[in-house]
Amino acid sequence: MKNMKKYTLIFLLISALQLKGQDKIDASTFLAKTEFKIGYSGTILWSNGFLVGAEYLLKELDKTKERRGAKRTNTHQFLFNGNLSFMTNFSSKTDTGGYANFGLTWRRTNKKGKQFSIDLNPLGYYRSFLPETYKVNGDRVDKVFLPGRGYYSPSISVGIGKRRKGKVRSGSYVNITYSPRFNYNAGTLPTFSIQYGFRFNFKNKK
Amino acid sequence: MKQFNTIFLKIAFVSITICLASACSNDFELDNLDETLYVRHKNADMPAYIRGNSSEKVFLITLHGGPGGTGLGFTGKAFDAIENQFGLVYFDQRGSGNSQGHYSEDDVSIDLMAEDVLALVKVLQRKFGSDSRFFLLGGSWGGTLGTATLLKNQSFFKGWIEVAGANNPAGLYDWYIETFTTTANNQIALGNSVDFWESVLELVAQVGAVNNLDDFLDLNGKAFEAEEKLFEDGFIDAVENGIGGNETFFTYNFLTRGWNNSQIASILDNQGLFQTTDFTSQLSEIRIPSLFISGRYDMVVPMVSAQTAFDAIGSTSKELEVFERSGHGPMFSEPELFAEKVIEFMNAHK
């Protein structure tokens, strides 16, 4: 109990210092480094929905290469990304669910603003939402409240895009995403989807 | 601006309330059902698509083929006609179609899947009332599962309809060899697709004398090819479209359906479904009215299977209908006749 009090005091002290330190973070820098995104997410034929997310720039560097006698400079970015998406199958009403995933993005942008990116999101969760569901246990039948199931669902995305430098709508993107669902039935369900949408940087002026 | 916001908020509130009310509504018209509900049983969530006219509260529960087919794979002309008379329950079995859940391979068994079917009946009774009456229909592998279900509890059902059903999957191996040999020799004598039928005889000569999974799968694959040839040569009116059905494309994600199919099929195959499962000796325990339907040119579950089951079943009221222009999918080859026989049987025993 004595130790508990000691650790609580240390924790509160560190927390206070941490908060004091955070006062100095420039909010404008945070917004300038953050792009928000919104777009379509789905498989077109079997599920359709939307995605919202954000990308925070962790590191940016320029790399210059010589190709066919000319120097080309590409910008490489490492970003932290977080996404929420929701998809449904309007035909069956049996394939509705939402994703939340977080991870890192590597993105290369050339001089013309064309982009290539790879997202690795090891933290991912999929929750299905089922229609009217009844649970049977022996002879007992109960209606299930908010039926559905949760699955660990990391993802990897590969995509292309276009940057609009200095604009509020700062870019567009198309990704193909592979996100397996663990444990689905007696194994791991592979799923693929397409994302298409726009990025926004609200610190930009135009 | 403030007034606009207030109006907008009111409209949004009313819209959300209407959406929630309609989403939570349990209203349904028994004479024109179109309901989808899930059965949660032993770590699996399995959808049942309930359609048709159930003004008399008479339901036909269907068990698809595979293992790993889709409930709605039966949909088409024949079942549309049955829906006009009775309620149809298309069920995606454990690990099939749009079913989901968390369980291990070791948990999966025919016995558990039969319990799932009985769980479905309990849910339907809860939803539509305990005065509801049920018939069970199993196609192909659904015949195996249906038989297992009836052996656990047949008191729920007014009748059993087995369509090209395999209640002796272990016997298929020898029946393939017999049927392939006879059919191939007949077709060669008639001069039809001679090269193909010679390849069938070659396969029969190559497979082992003892039932084994690899050779079984080769024979099973050849059976579907053989039906294609019989269709091309005018013996079958339409080939069975497997896990097709006329409203499955947008309902089932192609990848999910295929993955589920391969998973559940391999689990049951590896448990010896086609090497050891044989319900023939227990068929005498089934005493409810039964109708067996088989295609004359069924190469996948040869007609001898239906004849054996018909002879062995314990029902005093039993019928065997052989469809002369059909293979493994009589509901697709001769839909009018199929609907007529099923409706007649259900009307007689409801």
Q: Cβ of B47 and A46 within 8 Å?
A: no
Nearest to B100 among A47, A132, A149 (CB): A149
Alpha-helical regions (H) of B84-130: 110-128
pLDDT given at position A165: 87
Q: Chain A partners of B268 at a C-beta cutoff of 8 Å? A: none
Measure CB to CB from residue B255 to each of A128, A132, A190 and give the nearest one.
A190
Give the rounded percent of residues in chain B with a pLDDT score beyond 90: 83
pLDDT reported for residue B219: 96
CB of A152 within 8 Å of a chain B CB? The answer is: no
Chain Cα centroid distance, residue B339: 15
For B21-77, the pLDDT digits (tens) are 444 455 678 888 899 999 999 999 999 999 999 899 999 999 999 899 999 999 989
Per-residue pLDDT of A72-124, as tens digits, reads 889 999 999 999 999 999 887 788 999 999 999 999 999 899 999 999 999 99
Interface probe with B: pick from A185, A189, A192, A193, most Cβ of B within 10 Å: A185
Residue of B nearest to A135 (CA): B40
Determine the pLDDT at residue B248.
76
pLDDT at A24 over 50: no
Determine the residue among B38, B103, B125 to mutate to test chain A binding: the one whose Cβ has the most chain A Cβ atoms within 10 Å: B38
What is the reported pLDDT for A15? Answer: 45
Q: Residue B126 is encoded by which pair of tokens?
A: 């809860």
pLDDT, residue B5, reads 53
Model pLDDT, residue A19: 42
What are B296-342's pLDDT values in tens digits? 999 999 999 999 999 999 999 999 999 999 999 999 999 999 999 99
pLDDT band of residue B251 (cuts 50, 70, 90) is: confident
Of B26, B36, B264, the CB nearest to A94: B36
**For testing contact with chain A, the best of B42, B100, B115 (most A CBs within 10 A):** B100
Position A13 pLDDT exceeds 90 = no
- A150 near B CB under 8 A: no
The span from the CA of B179 to the CA of B268, in Å, is 25
A127 contacts in chain B (CB < 8 Å): none
A139 vs B contacts (CB less than 8 Å): 122
pLDDT tens per residue across span A38-84:
999 999 999 999 999 999 999 999 998 887 778 888 999 999 999 99
pLDDT bracket for residue B246 (50, 70, 90) = low
- Give yes or no for residue A23 having a pLDDT over 80: no
Chain A residues within an 8 Å CB radius of B126? 134, 141
Size of interface A-B (CB pairs under 8 A): 111
C-beta separation of B65 from B141 below 8 A: yes
Q: What is the pLDDT of residue B13?
A: 59
Task: Confirm or reject contact between A186 and chain B (CB < 8 A).
Answer: yes
- For residue B346, what are the CA distances in angstroms to A101, A126, A173, B56? 51, 43, 57, 12
- Closest CB from A131, A144, A190 relative to B40: A144
Picking from A89, A96, A126, A136 by the largest number of B CB atoms within 10 A of its own CB, the best residue to mutate is A136
Rounded Cα distance, B138 and B160, in Å: 8
Instruction: Choose among B26, B122, B251: nearest Cβ to A139.
Output: B122
Residue B233: pLDDT above 70? yes
Q: What's the pLDDT at A203?
A: 85
User: What is the rounded distance in angstroms from the CA atom of residue A109 to the CA atom of residue A117?
Assistant: 9
Q: pLDDT (tens digit, 9 = 90+) per residue, B113-145?
A: 999 999 999 999 999 999 999 999 999 999 999
d(CA B61, CA B223): 27
Across residues B248-262, what is the average pLDDT?
A: 89
Q: Which among B26, B100, B123 has the least Cβ separation from residue A185? A: B100
> Which candidate from B41, B99, B123 shows the least CB-CB separation from A185?
B99
Residue B78 has pLDDT above 90, yes or no: yes
Query: Which is more confidently placed, B3 or B235?
Result: B235
Q: Which residues in chain A touch residue B26, judged by CB atoms under 8 angstroms apart?
A: 132
Q: Does A96 touch chain B (CB under 8 A)?
A: no
Chain A residue at shortest CA distance from B94: A185
How far away is chain A from the Cα of B107, in angstroms, using its nearest Cα?
Answer: 9
> Would you say residue B14 has pLDDT above 90?
no
Q: Does B260 touch chain A (CB under 8 A)?
A: yes
Closest alpha carbon within chain A to B257: A189
Q: Do B250 and A183 touch (CB under 8 A)?
A: no
Paired strand residues for B229: none
Q: Say which of B39, B44, B253 has its CB closest to residue A134.
A: B39
DSSP for A139-189 reads TEEEEPSS---EEE--EEEEEEEEE-TT-SEEEEEEEEEE--EEEEBTEEE
SS3 sequence, A67-105? ECCEEEEEEEEEEEEEEEEEEECCCCCCCEEEEEEEEEE
Check CB contact of A48 with chain B, cutoff 8 Å.
no
Q: Which of B91, B96, B109 is nearest to B152 (CA)?
A: B109
What average pLDDT does the structure give for chain B? 90
Interface of B with A in 71-130 (CB under 8 A): 94-95, 98-105, 107-108, 119, 122-123, 125-127
- Helices of type H across chain B: 2-24, 77-83, 110-128, 141-152, 172-190, 194-206, 213-232, 254-270, 273-276, 303-312, 330-333, 335-349
Q: B262-307, pLDDT tens digit by residue?
A: 999 999 999 999 999 999 999 999 999 999 999 999 999 999 999 9
